[in-house]
Chain A
Amino acid sequence: MTDSIKLTTVTASIATESITVTNAAGASVTLAIRDISALTNIISAESCPLLTPRPAQFVTGLTITRDTFGADAAYKTVKYMLNYLFFFCPLGQGATLYEKFDDMVTAAAVILNYFGTHTNLSGATDILPGVVEDFEPVINADGALYHGCGIPFAVTQFMET
């Protein structure tokens, strides 16, 4: 039994998911999901809708617990949060500041529903969306505001798996 923390496997799994959402132009598109190896400081209107790892505090609350006797050889469980940002469209897109707000909420709900019903991702024993604290706005590296929200994922992994 070799233990491992498959954090990068989980992020790769998330990045390969295919989720169809309606973008700010009203078109049905596949949500772009970035892996941690594809992070850039460029997020533009053309990138959206986009789900990307939040560079600051990407992994939070990581704990490792020993579940059985056996010291180093014991069954252990690792739990952590992965924090993503959902960029839907620039805040000013649309005739009014909040014209696209409802579209963002609709798309975010689609994403949350998807991950609420796809909890068997490679690298995780269990994964579920966590507590969404902030619906709007999200900020790119240039300081531009976007309709969007933070989407955390609560990951549980048996370390021997």
Chain B
Amino acid sequence: MVQKNDFTRINDYVWELPPTYDGRMRVPARIYGNEDVFEMAFRDQSVEQLMNVAMLPGIVKYAMAMPDMHQGYGFPIGGVAAFRYNEGIISPGGVGYDINCGVRMLASSLDYASIAPYLKDLTATIFRNCPSGVGGKGAVQLSAQDLNAVLEQGAEWALAKGYASRDDLERTESYGQIAGARADAVDARAKERGLPQMGSLGAGNHFLEIDVVDEIYAADIAAAFGLVRDDIVVQIHCGSRGLGHEVCGQYIRVLQDAPRRYGIDIPDRELVAAPVDSREGRDYLAAMAAAANYAFANRQILAHFVRRSFEQVLAGKVRDWNLHQVYDVTHNVAKIEEHSVGGQRMKLVVHRKGATRAFPPRHPDLPAVYRETGQPVLVPGSMGTASYVLVGTETALKDTFGSTCHGAGRMMSRNAALKQMRGEQVRSALNQQGIVVRTDSLKGLAEEAPYAYKDVSLVVDSVVGAGIARLVARVRPVAVIKG
């Protein structure tokens, strides 16, 4: 079994396992993190899962894990891997079931003091307007025709229907619409699951949070992002709901015999893959893009209903309740991008599973508004703890295909978390910190308790230390809605 001393220390924040460790590895495996974070990686199966990724055909440079890495299924969570477009593979398990799970941040020009008297009412109104939990219907009803438009147009559909502004789309990764999406690549069952769920948060680790900006690290960049100390922001964390789960499951199922058909040797059946340039590869990319577009539209609809909630509660009471979008990032996706590998420009399929794109200033894929600052990176902490806003860097582009961490990273199983405290106790502890909590599942609250996760500041220190993101601002929660 792989151990810490099988790795070489590249620097204080990067650790490398050479491919000679296991003859099946095609490239080295790299773990990002300071020494404490690196040691945490050996508590579960995540390092073995990372080695499996390094064995996939067409992989270039390294199989990488960000400091929030933990055990998943197939890829580890926090995994980043890029494959040659021409001779490489696309793996649905390298994206996961919650396609385009991601985070959106909205910012206000209201300080905490001005909304404090209305915070409980505001939280209750958002909880009512933004459905959460299992089994519920979404905030908007779609026709079958609407759904096909959502799948191919993403946030553009929301704009056409009056749920978004052009500014929102400009401040969304890939402008809220991944190219190449085809509604006909998404099968009827996935559509059936997605139809009633548009505009819903879901359950598990998904959340909606009201926060206060409590630290600014880079004043010029924070100003460009519209972040002001003491002002209120909102974070929305969710994905493509049942539609994305069904798309992933169906393509993993379809590809079960692909290793035999295409001679692709895989170490784990969850990592089944197809050549990017095969019928199955193209179909999966088109279906994944469609599911990702559904998720962009979903977070856009939720943002719309958060804005409506602010208006319902605060109109006539405070001077300006408007919320502008800071950014929306996806952290479960595979994207076709061009990167420099060994001094050569190369078309790649970059898989980010529990990792965030972090493009630097002047990257051509960034919108004009963030061309000079670099891309905002949203890193939510565990419930009740701080979250961070970072910005992408040249080092990230050079070293990690423009990728960085996506959150705190789970450390404790749900069972172990449940043994520490009951949901009522977790809620009470959060209330004592001045945090308003709304949830339909107290058990879910206990499973997501802060002690189940790594300290997000350790994760952020590691990506900043490694140079794959820069600090911009920190926010702390004042209200939490848990799915």
Asked if A and B bind, the verdict is no
Report which B residues bind A (CB closer than 8 A): none
